[in-house]
Amino acid sequence: MTPPPMEKYECLSGIYWAPLGPIVQELWLGETDILLRLRQGYAERLKRFALKDVHCLTFTGTTTGSVISLISALACLTFVGLFLIARSADAEDSVYLTGVGALISAMILTVNVALGPTCRCHLHTATHAQRLTCLSRSRRARRVLHTLARAIDAAQSERTQEQTTATPGDNQPKFSP
């Protein structure tokens, strides 16, 4: 019983390092399957989806990123306002506190804007719909879905050709590959 070779997988979603972290999901692409690695604490579970079994991939834009930006911008403005008031009143402790608050909220805003808009992606097979939580930002998600779509198309067009050779006149997809 030899396991499939390990070197053939390519990480698509970036590697997360979470020594004390919550559930982390990673997406790996193999020659014949997509591997979803789920880490919860220090345990690691795997889900495999054969490329030839994938029916569709879905991409849905969400407003989560905009909401985070809005809240952090409001927080930043509030802290800056309080900072100015504290400075004019010569309250030294409040100046530091509001300054740090403004800095943190500005950092959150900057990072969120840099990461771009948010989204939700799903992978559908005949029996299962798997949410790809590791693809939560549109830019990366589109890039990864494009790579996945190419791999899935290649795997399924090979299979279609095999079927054509084996049983001529069998049901064929009605679109150009």
In whole angstroms, what is the distance from residue 17 CA to residue 6 CA? 20
Sign of the torsion angle spanned by Cα atoms 149, 154, 159, 165: positive
Least Cα distance to 36 among 24, 53, 21 occurs for 24
Amino acid at 143: R
Q: Which stretch binds another protein (CB under 8 A): 40-48, 80-88, 90-98, 109-117?
A: 40-48
Sign of the torsion angle spanned by Cα atoms 141, 63, 101, 17: negative
CB of 20 to another protein, least distance (A): 5
Q: Does 18 bind another protein (CB under 8 A)?
A: yes
Other beta carbons within 10 angstroms of residue 167's beta carbon come to: 9
Q: Which stretch binds another protein (CB under 8 A): 36-44, 66-74, 87-95, 99-107?
A: 36-44
Among 103, 107, 129, 162, interactor with another protein by CB under 8 A: 129
Q: Which stretch binds another protein (CB under 8 A): 4-12, 72-80, 83-91, 101-109?
A: 4-12
64-88 and 92-115 are packed helices; what angle lies between their axes, rounded to 10 degrees? Answer: 160
Among 14, 55, 66, 116, interactor with another protein by CB under 8 A: 55
Among 88, 165, 168, 171, interactor with another protein by CB under 8 A: 171
Amino acid at 72: S
Among 39, 87, 137, 140, interactor with another protein by CB under 8 A: 39
Amino acid at 100: V
CB of 132 to another protein, least distance (A): 10
Window 86 to 115, contacts with another protein (CB under 8 A): none
Report CA-CA distances (Å) from 149 to 67, 77, 127. 30, 43, 19
Three-state DSSP state, 123: strand
Per CB under 8 A, residues contacting another protein are 1-4, 6-7, 9, 11, 17-20, 28, 35, 37, 39, 42-47, 52-62, 119-122, 124, 126, 129, 145, 149, 152-153, 156-157, 159-160, 171, 173-175, 177
